[in-house]
Amino acid sequence: MDIAEKVFIVTGGSSGLGKAFANELVRNIANVVITGRDLDKLKQVASDLGSNCMWFHADMTKDEDLDALIEFTLDRFGRLDGIINNAGIGGWSPLEELTREKMREVYEVNVFGAAMLASKATKIFKKQNHGAIVNVASTASLSGYKYGTIYSSSKFAVRSMSQCWQAELRPHNIRVIQINPSEVPTAFGQENRDEKELVANKLSPQEIADVLIAALKMDPRGFIPEVTVWATNPF
């Protein structure tokens, strides 16, 4: 679709992949509302991206915040054309140290938060008979790994949800797209939330943002259900 003047919500938009997504959407003359946990960074990114980008401080684990996010977007822009479920947190644990609390913390954001925002947006998309839901998962949604019980299983859940939503929403012209980045140096998983330095032979947020824009710009008669992005030669 032509994304100029369309309106998108990007969760986790204050750094890393989310910031790159918002930047590319604005460059394509879309309007964007970004969310994030770090209020200062969120305000700064929105200011840097200009008048087409607005910020909203929302907790992905609270339904009332997600309702307010949708209401804020509609009040400011009068429409909603797509959501980018990018917010996520990591969690690694040896099996014998696994706890309900550790699993619940990650699932609340990566799975439940994404599902609840998609549920609320779908009500709008069905009424207008179009919309896009982009779930940013990971190559961890394709294959498990040592100590990955929490994070990898949460991304497997996202992949399952994407497939369920595709089957359910295609008759309403709602495209559900999943993007699986391989390792990208970002603030993800950093306690201080500082961005990691980019590495020349590894992925940057830009490659993932390029995929997002290409998928959204495809004519609405088709969609990309899932795409995985690997660094060509990270070795």
Measured CA to CA, the distance from residue 108 to residue 69 in angstroms comes to 17
Q: Give me the active site residues, please.
A: 151
For 26-69, how does the pLDDT look when each residue is reduced to its tens digit (9 = 90+)?
Answer: 999 999 999 999 999 999 999 999 999 999 999 999 999 999 99
In CATH, the number for domain 7-229 is 3.40.50.720
β-partners of residue 134 are 84, 177
Give this prediction's pTM.
Answer: 0.94
Of residues 84 and 197, more confidently modeled: 84
Q: Where are the domains of the chain?
A: 7-229
| pLDDT attached to residue 51 | 95
For 125-175, how does the pLDDT look when each residue is reduced to its tens digit (9 = 90+)?
Answer: 999 999 999 999 999 999 999 999 999 999 999 999 999 999 999 999 999
pLDDT of 99 over the 90 cut = yes
Q: Residue 59: is it exposed, middle or buried by C-beta count within 10 angstroms (0-12/13-18/19+)?
A: middle
Measured CA to CA, the distance from residue 16 to residue 88 in angstroms comes to 11
